[in-house]
Amino acid sequence: HTPMYFFLLNLSLLDLGSISTTVPKAMANSLWDTRDISYAGCAAQVFLFLFFISAELSLLTVMAYDRYVAICKPLHYGILLGNRACVHMAAAAWGSGFLYSLLHTVNTFSLPLCKGNAVDQFFCEVPQILKLSCTDAYLREFGLIVVSVFVGIGCFAFIVLSYVQIFRAVLRIPSQQGRHKAFSTCLPHLAVVSLFLSTGVFAYLKPPSISFPSLDLMVAVPYSVVPSTVNPLIYSMRNEELQDAVRKLITG
């Protein structure tokens, strides 16, 4: 019932949804030795995946602001991040993800596909679908992707600036243990966000001339699977309060 754990709850739901959208289908296809997916299933996978990852990026931006206020403006924390403000920010993250995903999905699947129906990836990914579309129609969606990339870079810049202010405040902490604890929490988060954005930008903006299956797979995994896998370790397993709660749950 505190802002940090409220945002962690939302993050865990987004991570669960994101990884459940792609990995189970890929595992089932591998076990049954098939690569088939229906047109509706592909559209649903694109919509849900974009929804969860875009909402997660917005939520990570909000969480960076939460940490900035908690460390740099602790006396204003209760005012700036009250219950209503937290609900509004989380709702904005989910809502922006929904609108972004709906716009991309409708625009992508309204394109005429004139180059076959084989998506060369372990899940339905927008860049792979664009390879099947006609050239003139491809440019319309590509423009939308470029705008989205700039929005993502803007979110990343806000996160970095927030952590710069946090690091400046942390360096003034007299206790070395306190500084180490703050850095050990912030740096893995920044690493995951950086990996998520850099590989995502590369996947969506790399020129078709350097696109081949093994590279596409290597780029897709870090932004589609790794963040959802690592976030629970960063935010849960490194948090002493959550560790104590798990111990009490296991021991009864």
What does the pLDDT read at residue 88?
A: 94
Residue 224 · residue 123 · CB < 8 Å: yes
pLDDT of residue 208: 63
Give pLDDT tens digits along the chain (252 positions). Answer: 688 889 888 988 998 999 998 888 888 888 888 778 888 888 899 899 999 999 988 998 998 898 888 888 888 888 888 889 999 999 999 999 999 899 888 888 887 777 777 777 788 888 778 777 776 666 766 777 777 888 888 888 998 898 888 888 888 877 777 677 667 667 777 777 787 778 777 777 776 666 667 777 777 787 788 888 888 777 766 667 777 888 888 887
The structural architecture, per CATH, of the domain 3-251 is: Up-down Bundle (1.20)
The C-alpha angle 241, 243, 246, rounded to 5 degrees, equals 110
Residue with tokens 């104590």: 244
Query: Domain-by-domain residue ranges, the chain?
Result: 3-251
What pLDDT, on the 0 to 100 scale, is given for residue 14?
92
Q: What is the pLDDT of residues 59-69, one digit of tens each?
A: 989 988 988 88
State pLDDT tens for residues 92-139: 999 999 998 998 888 888 877 777 777 777 888 887 787 777 766 667
